Structure 1
């Protein structure tokens, strides 16, 4: 990769000598040749999406306009592809997982079908692609049989990942890279997923693979591409990034990694954190387009035909505003067939919510929605204590009639409730694990307990008071019945303390217990 300073000097020298080219400087300090360059440079457009999560029929308000939905995302992508024949469509993971019923009820096959309709060229798995295990992820990619849905043909997209390692072979589970040729230029794409996958995906569902260091995997694969003469390299990274709209104040994990990544990498598509990112760090362009199809990334590159180097790159994050485009007709037809297949069962009204039940946490980490889920789990299992992790819900419940689809959209994971026997010491350990070194705090929602903590105490020693619902101190050696999801019971979100418990009973799905709770607490008017 040629640095901007060198290229600027060369372009200025050519301009002075031959008087044939004019250039402008973009907001990323990249020179963009704008005249008499058609023979020397190839203009390539990359369109990227991330964290779609099967949101085929869901819309959200972004910047005073409704956005999202498969039919609008498809319309925008088709429009932009038509404007430049040298276009590749890519994604940075979490296309499935945490999906609403229109996708989740069919094992997320509809979302893969939608990606096939879009003709996505290259993608990489996110952590949620592993939610149901390695075999199910591979079935969605390569095709195969499922007892609920029958045979599925799989994805047309080239899936890559350099740091999901098969434990049996020691090799990448998927190809670490793919090379795409466009207008005579070869572009290398590398895929990686965040090592946080080791925290968010249960041991059972990732027991066949290791998720290894992202930077090492990228640099190792860059070396392989360079040995093949590839100099235009793009990374699809399901790793968090964030910036201001102006590109200033870049933050999060990928930003910290960027200076350690080989300088032959010019462009990185981010994901995982659902934030906006359009910034340059260490001369690497980093983009992330929110989530749920609310926006997409447009990256325009110019590649030198003689050197095969990317000599300029700039990006826009484009919101899929409904008032700017007509929905794609083919996708509208596709969605209509899916809704007919799903039937009317999810239109059922199950209760009336008098005011918003918020997922958001207050300054103490308390979430009203999560508290209610914990209470419903405790009642369903007849326990004194219940815990809920914040990731159990995807959003808040809005005021008004609550449908089954609303509920399954905000509680999509299908976790079941488990009754555990835990000692007081094990419960205290679980609470201590809410604070992690070099990680964002991950506060549990609890019922049947009260506790205080010292934020200035060392991590692992912050709980200073812990009482049961009767106001009695929890005894370290006494055993207590506790309700948690099977996800937490298996150590999900790195709450390993729950794995030490003794399972005595498995109950209904978390969403089913909450449904009964809502029907009793907020019956239909």
Structure 2
């Protein structure tokens, strides 16, 4: 090989390469490169368990000082303030927005609450157990619109969708509402699936809900999460009217358990039902809950990948609505004033006077004396109204405290807002003991009572909680073979878990429960002084004889 030719060729190639490099423009970044799109930032503002408490103010402690929180004109102002910070904001709710309401909403069939929610601009909501308080037909009317004798003129329903993927009407074999909805926000799509706790049929009146069927929440969520994914929706939020707590679990239908079992494409679960603060991550699913009655709301901040549509970041804050921090929203204030003016004379009617504040609460399974003064008063009124031997009142039906001093119709309405009617039945002494045992769960006792006393054992589980003895007012034990007249409300009568409707005979329907309480309070001294009396007493478990 001729080395001179090789050397000359290398020089020629080197010269050509150098010339070529000099002819290429120099840039700091590749030709035609584009800046990557930023993540889409979405804000979800959520309420749960409002219960029509439009004008309810919650007293709280802040830095040792008494402060006021809630009342919807302030809650609306707080949520609008947050909404103004992000154009990609959706307002959502997780059920029980109506039902168990005070006069401002209940006297008009809860339509004022819907009016407030529409003014605030809600985008999607779920169902809670209290949406079924007056039956499936009335729920459909509330959603779709239509006249009601107690309602407002030309009521046209809700202008935002309601979703529930596990609530069926067996009369039609179909879901009562849509199972999910897709919302477009900021060039992204988010799927919202709704579910309601499987406990619902045991927590509502039977009348009007005879054909209600609630299926497994996880199965329903997974079914429609798959459909959403098949349609290309990768961001999925669940509106679950299921309880949760910050640490651990509450029961079989806890949102924490749901988070552990549902499709991993689910990113956020708005929980509800037990009226507490929750902000935690379980199996990479964010779970939030914001107390109740509009005293707080959930602010969930999401970031979505603009290419895939997946949620790549999520965090939340539970925002307490301290009234001192906000100016009332004028639109909501106007709506509320309209109804406040209408109910004012009814609400202000004086019916009695209480020497002390009577606080609501379930009978205590922990304290030696388990009865509750306010529950005693209500049960006594039921017994008197129906001239019965005994009365039972479910703890969940007592919705508010009774302030000390003047007692008004509005005070008593807030305590018993459901419009339940009294039902008197005949039960044997043995049947009554069975019913009392049926009320004991792993969460404690349920019934306030009148006309008798009983002792029980309890160590925190339903299997070991048990009635020991039932005593008549004279101190003698109840005759298990004798018939007694027992008054309950129609919710309790139809509750299959209690067994009252199954065991009871000779049903007699009486007045509304509220009427019984109002009439009874009118007969009491001014002031009256109800206290814990030891009607329900915890005792040590009997020692088995070997």
- Provide TM-score, normalisation by structure 2: 0.85
Q: Which of 156, 180, 183 is equivalent to 2:183? A: 180
The secondary structure found in structure 1 opposite 2:331 is helix
Kept after mapping to 2: 8 A contact 1:50/1:291: yes
The secondary structure found in structure 1 opposite 2:417 is coil
1:515 paired to 2:513: no
The secondary structure found in structure 2 opposite 1:482 is strand
* Structure 2 counterpart of 1:24: none
Kept after mapping to 1: 8 A contact 2:430/2:481: yes
Kept after mapping to 1: 8 A contact 2:191/2:228: yes
1:152 paired to 2:150: no
Kept after mapping to 2: 8 A contact 1:237/1:269: yes
Kept after mapping to 2: 8 A contact 1:143/1:152: yes
Which 4+ stretches in 1 moved above 4 angstroms? 248-252
* Structure 2 counterpart of 1:23: none
Counterpart Cα distance in 2 of 1:169 and 1:281: 36
1:441 paired to 2:409: no
* Structure 2 counterpart of 1:15: none
1:128 paired to 2:124: no
Counterpart Cα distance in 2 of 1:496 and 1:224: 40
Give the direction of change, closer, same or farther, for the CA distance of 1:148–1:262 in structure 2 (3 Å limit).
Answer: same
Counterpart Cα distance in 2 of 1:343 and 1:38: 59
1:145 CA drift (Å): 2.0
Kept after mapping to 1: 8 A contact 2:201/2:212: no
* Structure 2 counterpart of 1:383: 388
Choose 361-370 or 177-186, whichever is displaced more. Answer: 361-370
Give the direction of change, closer, same or farther, for the CA distance of 1:307–1:522 in structure 2 (3 Å limit).
Answer: farther
* Structure 2 counterpart of 1:345: 346
The secondary structure found in structure 2 opposite 1:83 is coil
Aligned residues: 485
Counterpart Cα distance in 2 of 1:92 and 1:442: 27
Counterpart Cα distance in 2 of 1:417 and 1:426: 19
* Structure 1 counterpart of 2:215: 212
* Structure 2 counterpart of 1:57: 55
Q: Which of 484, 490, 513 is equivalent to 2:494? A: 490
1:523 CA drift (Å): 3.0
The secondary structure found in structure 1 opposite 2:147 is strand
| CA deviation vs aligned residue, 1:314-355 (integer Å, no higher than 9, x gap) | 000001111101001111111111122334121122222111
The secondary structure found in structure 2 opposite 1:204 is coil
1:472 CA drift (Å): 3.2
Give the direction of change, closer, same or farther, for the CA distance of 1:434–1:249 in structure 2 (3 Å limit).
Answer: closer
Give the direction of change, closer, same or farther, for the CA distance of 1:391–1:250 in structure 2 (3 Å limit).
Answer: closer
1:68-79 matched pairs, under 5 angstroms: 68-79=70-81
Give the direction of change, closer, same or farther, for the CA distance of 1:519–1:120 in structure 2 (3 Å limit).
Answer: same
Kept after mapping to 2: 8 A contact 1:250/1:279: no
Counterpart Cα distance in 2 of 1:431 and 1:83: 53
The secondary structure found in structure 2 opposite 1:146 is coil
The secondary structure found in structure 1 opposite 2:208 is helix
Counterpart Cα distance in 2 of 1:415 and 1:153: 26
1:280 paired to 2:288: no
Kept after mapping to 1: 8 A contact 2:203/2:495: no
* Structure 2 counterpart of 1:355: 356
Counterpart Cα distance in 2 of 1:351 and 1:117: 37
Kept after mapping to 1: 8 A contact 2:166/2:220: yes
1:154-173 matched pairs, under 5 angstroms: 154-173=157-176
Give the direction of change, closer, same or farther, for the CA distance of 1:96–1:522 in structure 2 (3 Å limit).
Answer: farther
| CA deviation vs aligned residue, 1:187-240 (integer Å, no higher than 9, x gap) | 100000011102101232321220111111111111111111111000000101
Counterpart Cα distance in 2 of 1:93 and 1:461: 32
Counterpart Cα distance in 1 of 2:119 and 2:245: 29
Counterpart Cα distance in 2 of 1:239 and 1:184: 31
* Structure 2 counterpart of 1:319: 320
Q: Which of 375, 387, 403 is equivalent to 1:398? A: 403
Q: Which of 57, 62, 85 is equivalent to 2:87? A: 85
The secondary structure found in structure 2 opposite 1:79 is helix
1:38 CA drift (Å): 8.4
* Structure 2 counterpart of 1:480: 484
The secondary structure found in structure 1 opposite 2:423 is strand
Kept after mapping to 2: 8 A contact 1:426/1:498: no
The secondary structure found in structure 2 opposite 1:386 is strand
The secondary structure found in structure 2 opposite 1:373 is helix
* Structure 1 counterpart of 2:434: 429
| CA deviation vs aligned residue, 1:15-37 (integer Å, no higher than 9, x gap) | xxx99xxxxxxxxxxxxxxxx99
Kept after mapping to 1: 8 A contact 2:457/2:464: no
1:105 paired to 2:107: yes
Q: Which structure 1 segments of 5+ residues have no match?
A: 1-17, 20-35
Choose 116-125 or 64-73, whichever is displaced more. Answer: 64-73
CA RMSD, aligned part only? Answer: 2.2
1:365 paired to 2:370: yes
Give the direction of change, closer, same or farther, for the CA distance of 1:183–1:126 in structure 2 (3 Å limit).
Answer: same
Counterpart Cα distance in 2 of 1:325 and 1:144: 35
Counterpart Cα distance in 2 of 1:88 and 1:228: 21
* Structure 1 counterpart of 2:267: 266
The secondary structure found in structure 2 opposite 1:128 is helix
Choose 463-472 or 270-279, whichever is displaced more. Answer: 463-472
1:250 CA drift (Å): 6.5
* Structure 2 counterpart of 1:224: 227
Larger Rg, first or second structure (1 or 2): 2
Q: Which structure 2 segments of 5+ residues have no match?
A: 1-27, 529-546
The secondary structure found in structure 1 opposite 2:263 is coil
Counterpart Cα distance in 1 of 2:100 and 2:142: 15
The secondary structure found in structure 2 opposite 1:112 is helix
Kept after mapping to 1: 8 A contact 2:458/2:465: no
